[in-house]
């Protein structure tokens, strides 16, 4: 009758959670005790529930009992099938509270949230640069290994990522099919146009969790975060002085070379090495200005 009444007489003394059956409480308590009585005979991994062991065994047997009725693809877990079905139904139940963008998987939402939080848990051991995704880190590492597997068939130039090759190919085709309706500027990719449009709309979806300042590009947020972390990855080879921004380093180097700089962003005013220090704290980029 407890099934119908919803009565739960068995309570966990550790956390207070209640259950309708004594067996359910017994299984639950293994979370607190760490007991894992069900062991895989293939690899020795242990589990707290027999159902978890049965799911795990499919890794070794290759069994995939859950099949999609739409396309015939099979899965080892029902949860994986449910996630897959969203491709066909178009359902996206996981919504970002910051910008409203929706996703079919909670995992994809978690990765997306790093855009807003600025979290970059994957760090390059060569230069210290951080990334929100392991795939982005793997692509970045090719810079250090000088691995360039993507080659242009027109001129033979090689690149470390396919997107860079596609971007390069527009040199040969001269095609920029994506045009800004506000100012007429053209772009090779729709994603570049999308980023550019934030200049006109004023949208700044990337927020610093330390001070609340907003930015229109994730790269600008990452540079800004160095103010709080005091990270200075750009070092002068002449004197060892370090800077937050590469542009600040470039300005500083002119104090050694005596070179004069014409800043396009400042109406082509020319500065001597003695004058540029007042601007050395600004990282100037096309269309945006990031203050260090």
Q: What is the pLDDT of residues 166-191, one digit of tens each?
A: 778 777 766 677 888 889 888 877 78
Within a domain: residue 134? no
pLDDT band of residue 6 (cuts 50, 70, 90) is low
Please count the other Cβ atoms lying within 10 Å of the Cβ belonging to residue 210. Answer: 12
Within a domain: residue 257? yes
Domain closes at, from 61, 84, 104: 61
Q: Which pLDDT does position 34 carry in this prediction? A: 87
Q: Which pLDDT does position 117 carry in this prediction? A: 81
Q: Which pLDDT does position 67 carry in this prediction? A: 92
Q: Which pLDDT does position 262 carry in this prediction? A: 46
Q: What is the CATH number of the domain that holds 21?
A: 3.30.160.60
pLDDT band of residue 267 (cuts 50, 70, 90) is very low
How many domains, in total, are found in the chain?
2
Compute CA distances 228 → 21, 211, 216, 224, 231, whole Å.
52, 9, 19, 8, 8
Give 103-150 pLDDT, tens digit per residue. Answer: 888 888 888 888 788 778 888 888 888 887 777 888 787 777 777 778
pTM for the model stands at 0.33
**Whole-angstrom Cα distance, residue 58 to residue 151?**
40
Segment 18-38 shows an average pLDDT of 88
Half-sphere exposure of 188 (CA within 13 A, CB side): 12
Pick from 154, 193, 200: nearest CA to 176? 193
**Whole-angstrom Cα distance, residue 184 to residue 216?**
20
Within a domain: residue 241? yes
Q: Are 268 and 262 in contact (CB under 8 A)?
A: yes
Within a domain: residue 213? no
Q: Which pLDDT does position 175 carry in this prediction? A: 66
Range of the domain at 53: 2-61
Within a domain: residue 243? yes
What are residue 283's DSSP bridge partners? Answer: 290
Q: Which pLDDT does position 284 carry in this prediction? A: 41
pLDDT band of residue 39 (cuts 50, 70, 90) is very high
Q: Which pLDDT does position 291 carry in this prediction? A: 44
Residue 84: pLDDT above 70? yes
Q: Which pLDDT does position 155 carry in this prediction? A: 87
Within a domain: residue 206? no
Within a domain: residue 277? yes
Domain closes at, from 45, 61, 77: 61
């Amino acid at each position: 009758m407890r099934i119908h009444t919803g009565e739960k007489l068995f309570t966990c003394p550790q956390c207070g959670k209640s259950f309708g059956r004594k067996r359910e409480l017994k299984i639950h308590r293994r979370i607190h005790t760490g007991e894992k009585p069900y062991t895989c005979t293939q690899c020795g991994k242990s589990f707290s529930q027999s159902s978890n062991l049965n799911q795990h065994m499919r890794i070794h047997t290759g069994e995939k009992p859950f099949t999609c009725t739409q396309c015939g693809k099979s899965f080892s877990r029902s949860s994986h099938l449910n996630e897959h079905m969203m491709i066909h139904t178009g359902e996206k139940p996981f919504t970002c509270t910051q910008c409203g963008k929706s996703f079919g998987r909670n995992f994809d939402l978690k990765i997306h949230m790093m855009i807003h939080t600025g979290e970059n848990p994957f760090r390059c051991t060569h230069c210290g640069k951080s990334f929100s995704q392991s795939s982005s880190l793997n692509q970045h590492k090719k810079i250090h290994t000088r691995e360039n597997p993507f080659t242009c068939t027109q001129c033979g130039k090689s690149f470390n990522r396919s997107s860079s090759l596609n971007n390069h190919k527009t040199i040969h085709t001269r095609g920029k099919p994506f045009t800004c309706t506000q100012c007429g500027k053209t772009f090779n990719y729709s994603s570049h146009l999308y980023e550019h449009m934030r200049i006109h709309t004023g949208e700044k979806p990337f927020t610093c969790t330390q001070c609340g300042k907003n930015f229109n590009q994730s790269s600008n947020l990452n540079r800004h975060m160095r103010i709080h972390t005091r990270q200075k990855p750009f070092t002068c080879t002449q004197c060892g002085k370090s800077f937050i921004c590469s542009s600040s380093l470039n300005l500083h180097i002119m104090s050694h070379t005596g070179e004069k700089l014409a800043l396009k962003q400042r109406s082509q005013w020319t500065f001597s090495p003695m004058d540029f220090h007042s601007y050395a704290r600004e990282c100037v980029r096309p269309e945006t200005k990031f203050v260090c």
